Amino acid sequence: MFEIEENIWFWLLFLIIGMGLLFVWNYFWKKRKKHVFASPSLLKYLSPTHSPFKSSFKFFIISLSLMCFIIGLANPKIGTKLETIKREGVDIVFAIDVSKSMLAEDVAPNRLKKAQQITSEIMKTLVGDRIGIIAYAGQAVPQVPLTTDYNSARMFLENMSTDMVSSKGTTIGDAIELSKSLFSQDEETSRVLVILTDGEDHNASGNEVAKATLEKEIRIITIAVGTEKGGPIPIKKDGVVSFYKKDSNGETVITKLNAKNLNEISVSTNGILVNEKNINTTVKRVNKFLSSLDKKDFEIKVFSEYKDQFQWFLGIGLFFLILDIFLLERKTAWLRRLNLFNENE
């Protein structure tokens, strides 16, 4: 496990990018001006020792050196000591629908992005609870196992899209079934599955599978995302709508919220359906339900000590600077014999 002490220094990496753009512009500007002065064959005759590779290589070495110095200033740290601590909380698995119907924009900005926003806001309010994430469409795929590392979980959450599951359709039952394997079977913790979806279930198996989770003491919260009026499913290219999804008859598909199905799933497991337009209201209802559950103690291992690693990057950066001085500036005998830049031709 590692962490960065001063992230602000990474903004200096844009300086290297700017230098690179300036270098490329200068290279082509010089090349154009030289061709105005003389033909390529004449230029080669007048300056036989000139090597375009030399300046490019020099810039590459200097850029690497600066990059290492910047990383060194940010001071990356590596965890060196693990410590076991006790926490009190609930095990929560978020199952997020990533089927194409979640691209509908009947809620802003679209159903999937709103589901991500709701999940992120719920995670911000959790303390001591372990969380996991599942993505599902025609099949369910685990994304994050149970963890207390909310930052890592949030990173996976933000990268979820409708392209991550190849199987078409929506199978809520598969997501419920997969969640059983994510929950710890050895620990008697309160278990909650939070399903964020528009309620479409092409296999109609969600309700039956949900009833079976009572044996595992898993409570299900269903969060409705979408409207009963529904909307078309836009297929975009470069952020612009190319067309709307159509059925086999060539008619535009209108996907609608199926709140009835979600209510049946949640009620069958002594859970709740949350169908609110406002994100804050949704989060409050979820937190109220979670606070009513028994919170169990469990042990986790965390890094309690971190060791600075900046010296390695400063050393590597210094090495590249020395390499630049000896390799590209000084005309030593051994470099002449290597003839790296065609200087002996």
Give the chain's largest Cα–Cα span: 87
pLDDT tens, position by position, 297-326: 666 666 667 788 888 999 999 998 888 777
Query: What pTM does this model have?
Result: 0.66
Q: What is the pLDDT of residue 33?
A: 73
Q: What is the pLDDT of residue 122?
A: 97
How far apart CA 323 and CA 319 sit, in angstroms, is: 6
* Residues forming CATH 3.40.50.410 domain(s) in the chain: 89-300
For the chain, list the strands marked E by DSSP: 2-4, 76-89, 91-97, 130-136, 140-147, 191-197, 218-224, 231-232, 234-237, 240-244, 254-255, 272-274, 296-308
Q: What is the pLDDT of residue 118?
A: 97
Q: What is the pLDDT of residue 337?
A: 56
pLDDT category, 328, cuts 50, 70, 90? low
pLDDT category, 128, cuts 50, 70, 90? confident
Query: Checking DSSP bridges between strand 130-136 and strand 91-97, what pairing results, if any?
Result: parallel
How far apart CA 94 and CA 144 sit, in angstroms, is: 9
Q: Which residues pair with 88 in a beta bridge?
A: 297
User: Is the model's pLDDT at 330 over the cut of 80?
Assistant: no
pLDDT tens, position by position, 144-203: 999 888 988 999 999 999 988 877 777 898 999 999 899 877 667 889 999 999 998 877
The position carrying tokens 């991550």 is: 164
Average pLDDT over residues 112-123: 97
pLDDT category, 240, cuts 50, 70, 90? confident
Q: In 3D, which of 308, 128, 113 has the Cα closest to residue 226?
A: 113
Q: What is the pLDDT of residue 191?
A: 92
**CATH code of the domain made up of 89-300:** 3.40.50.410
According to DSSP, residue 235 is labeled E
- Above pLDDT 70, what percent of the chain? 82
Q: Which residues pair with 301 in a beta bridge?
A: 84
Count Cβ neighbours within 10 Å for each residue of 290-303 and write b for 16 or more, e otherwise: beeeeeeebebeee
Average pLDDT over residues 1-24: 87
How far apart CA 343 and CA 54 sit, in angstroms, is: 10
User: Is the model's pLDDT at 248 over the cut of 70?
Assistant: yes
pLDDT tens, position by position, 31-69: 777 667 666 666 666 665 556 667 788 888 889 999 999
Q: Which residues pair with 81 in a beta bridge?
A: 305
Q: In 3D, which of 220, 211, 219, 224 has the Cα closest to residue 259?
A: 224
Long-range contacts of 114-117 (CB under 8 A, 24+ apart): 114/225, 114/279, 115/196, 115/197, 115/223, 115/225, 116/157, 116/158, 116/160, 117/279
pLDDT category, 273, cuts 50, 70, 90? very high
Angle between helices 279-291 and 111-125 (to 10 degrees): 50
pLDDT category, 263, cuts 50, 70, 90? very high
Q: What is the pLDDT of residue 209?
A: 81
- In this structure, the chain runs to a length of 345
pLDDT category, 334, cuts 50, 70, 90? very low
